[in-house]
Amino acid sequence: MLKNKILLKISGSIAAYKSAYLISKLVQNGFEVQTVATESALRFIGKATLEGLTGKPVMTDSFADGEMMSHINLVKWADIVVLAPASANTINKLSAGIGDNLLTSLFLAHDWSKPYLIAPAMNTNMYQHPATTDALNKLRSWGVIILPTASGHLACGDIGKGKLLDPDMIFERIESLLKQNTMLHSNGIKVLITSGGTRENIDGVRYLSNLSTGKTGAVIADALIKSGYDITYLHSIDAALPAGVCRKIEFSDFRNLDSLIQSELKNNFNAVIHLAAVSDFSVSQLILNGETKSIPLKEKITSSVEEISLVMKPNYKIVDRIKDYSINKNLLLFSFKFTNGGNIEPVIEKQFRQSKSDYIIHNDLKSRMNNTQTSFGIYKEKFLIDTVKTSGELGNKIVGLIQKNK
């Protein structure tokens, strides 16, 4: 019995010949491989080579006879998608949402519960171009796994970054991801994690936000992924991302996050870990030189404006509504409370009462800065039940608490 099904995409790069070695190694190790190639890729490597190695026809055309629904069927068939080599042109198309051939259309139909791996290969200047850099960052934020390039002599004669990573290393990464993805669904427990800080836009370049980096959320997500949990990770635009394979969804402001949580909790999650630092206030009015403007202002406020006034309106507490949003009325809720000094007991008691949280994790900025308290306190029913020093320890504690309550 073959191990896994691998959809290997090949785009137009002179490094396409290296895909033959990768395919050969995958097939020899018991993997089933289906290739999809762009027309430009077939100028560098022939169909006969690819078909001979895989035992399957190369797919290139969304409109070929019998391939009308291939962009949907192949996504369902594959356990992992690998784009190697990935040219600058294809990378930039993917990030822009362009589906002008079978390879790019497949990306638009991708099932994000499955790993998507990209191995770039191009000239150094193309690799370091701002368009390519931005495209790779955007793809990474969506959950695409971007492999590094190798450095050395390039086909064009230059020396530098952009060389396709050694196929043996790509093979090892594929094996690792498939093992990880098998574990991802091993215990059937689904957890929704929110992480990072909301942004309340003022104009085209300015917004109000907070200090949240999302690093704690990413560490906790990885702890759960390693333990076999099925994770959906709602994260802010610049938040840290887990290294493990999970479904990643980006949020922007308070309204957007609230809407996403409501939508996701129509699915049957077992637990929610709500770490996101949510704005207590949103901008309701922007007044420039006495004139009220629509929020958010699309253009940048110029330096010629002499007086700016922001009117803020309070937001409701999303955490107080999570259990009401959920179709699972036995949902386990972990909420976080971030403080900066003061008496914590009444604050914790109020959050338990209003949010109906099962556990609250407390983190105090002032105590951490003064090194007078461990990083996280774990509360249940108003009582402190444990303390941990690091995000990694906290992640493992949460794993244990979910197991205890399942």
Tell me the catalytic residues. Answer: 156
Q: In 3-state terms, what secondary structure has residue 261?
A: helix
Comparing C-alpha atoms, which of 119, 120, 93, 127 is closest to residue 107?
93
Amino acid at 348: I
Q: For residues 72 and 84, give the distance between their C-alpha atoms in angstroms, rounded to a whole number.
A: 20
For residue 73, give every residue at least 6 positions away whose Cβ sits within 8 Å of its Cβ, in sequence order, or none: none
Angle (CA) 286 292 297, round 5°:
50
32: its two tokens = 């089933």
Q: What phi and psi values does residue 263 have, to the nearest 5 degrees?
A: -65, -45
Q: Measure CA of the first residue to CA of the last residue in the chain; give whole Å.
A: 34
For residue 213, give every residue at least 6 positions away whose Cβ sits within 8 Å of its Cβ, in sequence order, or none: 196, 238, 239, 240
Q: In 3-state terms, what secondary structure has residue 53?
A: helix
Q: In 3-state terms, what secondary structure has residue 370?
A: coil
Amino acid at 223: A
For residue 222, give every residue at least 6 positions away whose Cβ sits within 8 Å of its Cβ, in sequence order, or none: 242, 243, 244, 395
Query: In Å, what is the CA distance from 191 to each residue of 235, 261, 405?
Result: 14, 12, 13
